[in-house]
């Protein structure tokens, strides 16, 4: 799936697009524990999370994750946007629960990391 397909499929809001909307995303990983994210060894991942704080952006940067999808219409702060801009991380937000978001993306063909 592309970032744009993810945005369209979830009726999501692109808060900060640091990559082309046509960028391919092959895997998704859902977590609120950033220690779980740090153990990932995959590429072309979108991180799905309900945790909205600067540490999420820093974790994505350290893990070479290029896009974060915040669920439950979480507020994204100016600090998070600034960090994402510096780090080259795309920020997206949708109103769905994490469970529904994951289900919709999996049904649309996005693969899990493992």
Regions of the chain where pLDDT drops below 50: none
**What integer pLDDT is reported at residue 101 of this predicted model?**
98
Supply the range of the domain harboring residue 68: 3-112
Tell me phi and psi for residue 30, to 5 degrees: -110, 125
Distance separating alpha carbons of residues 62 and 107, to the nearest angstrom: 29
Distance separating alpha carbons of residues 31 and 47, to the nearest angstrom: 7
pLDDT tens figures, 41-71: 877 899 999 999 999 999 999 999 999 999 9
Distance separating alpha carbons of residues 31 and 90, to the nearest angstrom: 17
Specify the number of domains making up the chain: 1
Helix (H) or strand (E) holding 8: helix 3-10
Q: Find the CATH number of the domain harbouring 104.
A: 3.40.1390.20
Enumerate residues 6+ apart whose C-beta is below 8 A from 57.
68, 80, 83, 84, 87, 89, 91
**Scanning the structure block, which residue is given the tokens 């540490």?**
55
**What integer pLDDT is reported at residue 97 of this predicted model?**
98
**What integer pLDDT is reported at residue 14 of this predicted model?**
97
């Amino acid at each position: 799936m592309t970032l744009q397909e993810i945005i369209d499929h979830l009726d999501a809001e692109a808060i900060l697009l640091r990559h082309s909307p046509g960028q391919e995303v092959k895997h998704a990983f859902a977590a609120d524990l950033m220690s779980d994210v740090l153990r990932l060894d995959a590429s072309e991942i979108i991180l799905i999370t309900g945790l909205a704080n600067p540490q999420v952006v820093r974790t994505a940067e350290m893990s070479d994750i290029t896009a974060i999808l915040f669920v439950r219409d979480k507020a994204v702060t100016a600090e998070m946007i600034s960090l994402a801009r510096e780090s080259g991380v795309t920020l997206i937000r949708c109103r769905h629960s994490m469970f529904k978001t994951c289900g919709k993306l999996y049904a649309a063909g996005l693969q899990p990391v493992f």
